[in-house]
Each structure stands twice: as structure tokens, then as C-alpha cells.
Chain A
Amino acid sequence: MAGSAQPAAIGETVLKVADLCVTFRTPAGPIEVPRGVSFTVRRGETLALVGESGSGKSVTSLAVMRLTPKPPRCHVRGQVLLRDDAGGTRDLLSLSDEQMRRVRGNDISMIFQEPMTSLNPVHTVGAQIAEAIHFHRNVGPRAARERALALLELVGISEPRKRLDSYPHHLSGGMRQRVMIAMALACDPKVLIADEPTTALDVTVQAQILALLKELQQRTGMGIIFITHNLGVVAEIADRVMVMYAGRIVEQADVGPLFARPMMPYTAGLLRSVPRVDLAGAGRPVLETIGGNVPDPLRMPPGCAFHPRCRHHRPGRCDTAVPALEDAGGDHLLRCARWREIAEAAS
């Protein structure tokens, strides 16, 4: 990343996921989450993946990294196309385990929700960062250590030389997440997957980490898939937003239009359930919640999976067939049988 310091505009597509399905075999029966998810991530772009727990957003990211359980417990179908340096693309799902290992931490890397447990407690921070370099770059231990030092500096850790020999439990949660980021950036990945990286952190630290990610993206031009259920964070960091419900994409749009005019009732409900300071005094102090629960993945409701919780639901319309993902114009995709009527009624 050190070499490519020019500001990164959103550029060509680096990752294209097509029709991704993950099936888990459980004692109670097969569970399919996600079911047919497609999206693209472009250079310098941040795609936010939003949804309640159980919506399949984490599994989607793990499937891209091929970190889901091995068959027969879990099957992944579809395509995960990653652009390589030569300009071609390869399907990660068709790589051998060893080929995939070379991709992980090198072309795509990932950071996780729990910085407290995501670092190995018995190895020093420096050793863990150096490890990420060692298995992808042909460098000696001294060079790897120097690189680790530079990375710690890059992610804004004070006294980086001293921290190299620290153990994870000596660092605060925010510091550990910075270490995780340093580790993920060790080999200049094209795509960084961040799975709720700020959920476990204090609000002030949260903001710092978000700012750091944005700054690093500016410098390196990596694409970021940012998984979260916090819409405030989405507004802060995302270029494009993808809302998932029960394993399917229900709405996908650029962040501005989506927040201004959510078209799928679920997204609208999510947005209404966010506390908004600007509206607190303006006659709408009460927060709304979406009634009911995420459906049991073993007993998905027929038709639109959201219909049992949806206040716009019409029997015969919403509970028969799964609505298609339609383009409402301007690359605003949504999955709702009644979106036109609802939009008309609203205006």
C-alpha cells in the first residue's frame, strides 16, 4: 500500500459474487443461508452488508473467504470472481485449498467482530503480523518484522516498536482491532471484509476505527465489504448498501438514495428503528420496532420471507411466490411484490 498513495476513486470491479448459496446440513434438516446472493465490489468502494443476525450476512462473507465448514456439513454454490493482477478473473470457489490459502490474507483479507478473542493470546503482536507476511511474501524474518513495524505505525499504534513484542492481552479492544487491521493489510489486499469490526468497541473508539478504515481505503484503493447491523455506521462509511433478510438480498442501492427513500418495507422498518437525533425534538420521539422475529431457517414462510412481519402484506400477493429482485431505476434494486403501490401511497 505504501507505493499506491494516490487517492482512489471508485474504479473497476475487483470482486463479483454471483448467485451464492450456502447449504448447511443440520440434524434437523438442511438450512440454506444465503440463497442466491449476487453483488459486486469495485476498487475503492465500500459495500455495506446490513441485516439482523441470522440474515446470512456473516455466512456470505465467510463463504467468499471459503471459511465455512467443509462438506458434507456445508456446501457452497455459485461464483466468487476475483480480479487478479493480470486483469483476468478467477473463481475462488473452484480453486484448490492450497490456491485458496494463497488468496486469503493476500488478495482478500478479513477482520472480525471480537478483537478480544481474534488474536492468539500466546504469540506476540509482532509475530502474528509477521506470520501474515511470511506465508505470502518471500521475505526473511527481519524484513517481515520491519514490515510489521511499518504496519503498526500505519494503523496508528503509538510506540509501535515496543508493541511488536506485546501480547494481545496488554492492548485495549481498539488497539487490538488496529492490530487486526494491520494484519489484514499486510499484503495489500484488493478486498477487505470487515465483519462487524466496531460492534464490540466503545463509541469513541468505533469512530476512530471507521476513520482509520476510510483513510486506509483512500491510500490503498481496496474495496471493503463492511458487515454491520448498525445503520449509523453504514451512513458513515458505505458507498453502497445491501440489505439482507432471511438469506436473500431484499434491497440494494447507493447509500444516499437508500437512506432518503427506502423502498422495501423491511429496510424502511430498519431505518425507522434507528434513534435519530435530528428528529428527536420534531414530533417523533418514539422509536419504532419491527414486530416479530427473524424466521426459523428450517421453516421459511412461503413467498416473501418478510411477509409475516410486514404491515403492507396482502394475502395472496405476498405469501405465494418469492418476489424477484427488480430495478426501481438508478441501480436501486429491491425485492417486494407491492413496492409500486407502497411507493405511490407514500407520495
Chain B
Amino acid sequence: MPVDRIDELGGRPEPEQTLHVNRNRALRRFLRHRLAILGTVTIAVLVIACAIGPYITPFDHLFIDIRSRFQPPVSGAHVFGTDEMGRDLLSRLMMAGRVSLTIGFAAMMLSTIFGTLVGAVAGYYGRKTGAVLMRFVDAVLCFPNIFLLLTLAAFIQPSLMTITIIIAATSWMEVARVVEGQLRSLRERDFAVAAEMIGAPNSHIMFKELLPNAVAPIVVAATLTVARAILMESYISFLGYGIQPPEPSWGNMLNNAQQYLNSAPWLAIFPGLMITLAVTSFNFLGDGLRDALDPRLEV
């Protein structure tokens, strides 16, 4: 790799940080990111399929048909085959998708709101309050995610609501760190100082002046949090502490499938593919958004 000296030739800088300034350029860069578009389309298809699919398929996802157990895919009326109780796998996948995607979005909302609040307070007040809050974030991050999730899940009655809450409870730290970092640097800028000088209340400066400037990284972090939340739900459901059967989620469908790996591998393959597809799509989308909104970051 030869040394890059093109910067010496008066290269044009790309100073974009807010959503507003260069929306067109951000959009152009996003569209150039083909994987992000692929991800967006996949997410849309998944959401629509899970939302309206169950009304269209002729099979109920809970209908047990012992005579047609373990039907392989594409062999008969069941496109994706059937499970150990003769239930239609496609219907179950779509119902499970509703659960998994709902948890993904809901946990993202919760953790983003909480993380933003913590990060904003820590970044705005800085000094002692900020230091204590951020050390607390560090402390939570010391606990391996799944250990903490499973401990919490084992202590509570699992339901859509509680699972969402504990996933959110273990995934807000990333957003908090991002927001804290942004606010800490934004706070030093002229417009924040100016707002303070004219006597604007703290809450006004924080929410009206500073946070709007941190929207881009929050959106990116939130998108990646959806991916994480879906993955986390699948982990704890697979391990038996998440969504409980007969209600399907992509994770708990795999729990059962494990024992039929020899005879009916499709039971394991399809739900796993769905998780991978959904999580990959959100990760691609988040990555594309990061490129589009904040060209300085690259990992």
C-alpha cells in the first residue's frame, strides 16, 4: 500500500454530521450501499409476510395433524413441510416471525429511549453524575450478556412483555455510550454555550438543542439494536427461558428441532435461516445508515 498523498492535493472534505444539512448526499450514499437496500427490502418483505401471511395460508399454526407429521418441504400441500405434530411449518414461521420481530422492535424502542436518557444525562451534566453513570454502564457491560439475560429470565414469568423488557434491560448500554459521547462533544460547541448564556433551561438545551444533533448515531445504534434483540430473543427461547411453546418464536422452534436433526433437518434449518436473514438485514441496514449518516466511522 503506497502512502496516500491525495489529501495534499486539496481533496474535498466531507463534513456531515446532521441529518438535515446534506440529506440528498446522505441518501445518495445510502443508495450506493447495495447491501443496505437489500436489507431494507428483506425487512419489508419479512414484516409484510409475517403481518398478513397467517391470514392467507390455509393452515393454522397451532392445528395439530398427527397423520401428516414430518412432511418434508415441497412434497405436498405444506410448502415448508410439517413438524413433529403435523403443524404447518410455514404458518408457524410467520407467526413466530411476528413474535420475534415484535420483540426486536419493542426492545429496540425501550432500550433506545432508556439508553438515550442515561447517555444524555451523563453527557450533559458530565463530571460526577456523568462519570458515575458511565461507570455503571461499564459495570453492566462486564456481565456476559447471555448469562445476565438467562438469570433474569429464569427469575421471572416469561411472556412477550417480560422478555422484551429484560432484553431491553441488557442492551441499552451501547446507545447510552454513543449519546454520551456525542453530547459531551456537542455541549462544548458554540450553540450550546449560547443557549446556556441566554438562560435556556437544561431540559430545553438537552432535548431541543443537543439531542437533535445526535440523531444520526442514535438511529444507527437503534438499527443495530434490533438485530441484537432478535438474536438475543432467539438465544433465550432456544435455551428454553424465552417465549414458551406452543406459542412459536424462531428461537423456540429450534429448541424442539434439535432432537429431530437426524430425521427432519428442515425443522432446524428454516427457523435458523429466518433468524439469520432478519438479523443480517438489520445489520446491513445499520451499516449502510452509518456510512450514509456518518462517513467518518468505519469498522
Indicate whether A and B are direct neighbours in the complex (CB within 8 Å): yes
**Residue in B2, B4, B9 whose beta carbon sits within 8 Å of that of A54 in the complex:** B9
Kindly state whether residue B139 has any CB partner on chain A within 8 Å.
no
Residues of A participating in the B interface, judged by any CB pair closer than 8 Å: 24, 26, 28, 31, 33, 53-54, 58-59, 62, 67-70, 74, 294, 296-297
Question: Can you pick out 18 interface pairs between chain A and chain B where the beta carbons lie within 8 Å of each other?
Answer: A24-B6, A26-B6, A31-B9, A53-B10, A54-B8, A54-B9, A58-B8, A59-B5, A59-B9, A62-B5, A67-B3, A69-B2, A69-B4, A69-B5, A69-B6, A70-B2, A296-B10, A297-B10
- CB-based contact B10/A294 at 8 Å: yes
- CB-based contact B6/A54 at 8 Å: no
Where chain B touches its partner, the secondary structure class is: loop
Complex CA–CA separation, A115 to B127 (angstroms): 36
Complex CA–CA separation, A69 to B4 (angstroms): 6
The interface residues of chain B lying within 8 Å CB-to-CB of A70 are: 2
Complex CA–CA separation, A24 to B11 (angstroms): 11
Complex CA–CA separation, A67 to B6 (angstroms): 12
- CB-based contact B2/A58 at 8 Å: no
Q: Specify the chain B residue showing the minimal Cβ separation from A68.
A: B2
- For the complex formed, measure the closest distance between the CB of B95 and the CB atoms of chain A, giving whole angstroms: 47
Complex CA–CA separation, A294 to B6 (angstroms): 15
The interface residues of chain A lying within 8 Å CB-to-CB of B4 are: 69
- For the complex formed, measure the closest distance between the CB of A268 and the CB atoms of chain B, giving whole angstroms: 24
**Residue in A26, A53, A67 whose beta carbon sits within 8 Å of that of B8 in the complex:** A53
The interface residues of chain B lying within 8 Å CB-to-CB of A62 are: 3, 5
Q: Could you mark each residue 1-42 of chain B with 1 if its beta carbon is under 8 Å from any beta carbon of chain A, else 0?
A: 011111011111000000000000000000000000000000
Complex CA–CA separation, A26 to B12 (angstroms): 11
Complex CA–CA separation, A68 to B1 (angstroms): 10
Complex CA–CA separation, A267 to B279 (angstroms): 62
Complex CA–CA separation, A24 to B10 (angstroms): 12
Closest 9 CB pairs of A and B: A69-B2, A54-B10, A70-B2, A58-B8, A297-B9, A24-B6, A31-B9, A33-B9, A54-B9
- For the complex formed, measure the closest distance between the CB of A245 and the CB atoms of chain B, giving whole angstroms: 13
Of the listed residues B3, B6, B11, the one surrounded by the most CB atoms of chain A closer than 10 A to its CB is B6
Q: Specify the chain A residue showing the minimal Cβ separation from B12.
A: A28
The interface residues of chain A lying within 8 Å CB-to-CB of B2 are: 67-70, 74
The interface residues of chain B lying within 8 Å CB-to-CB of A74 are: 2
Complex CA–CA separation, A74 to B3 (angstroms): 11
- For the complex formed, measure the closest distance between the CB of A175 and the CB atoms of chain B, giving whole angstroms: 24
The interface residues of chain A lying within 8 Å CB-to-CB of B8 are: 53-54, 58-59
The interface residues of chain B lying within 8 Å CB-to-CB of A26 are: 6, 11
The interface residues of chain A lying within 8 Å CB-to-CB of B3 are: 62, 67, 69
The interface residues of chain A lying within 8 Å CB-to-CB of B11 are: 26
Complex CA–CA separation, A296 to B11 (angstroms): 9
Complex CA–CA separation, A53 to B9 (angstroms): 8
Q: Could you mark each residue 239-280 of chain B with 1 if its beta carbon is under 8 Å from any beta carbon of chain A, else 0?
A: 000000000000000000000000000000000000000000
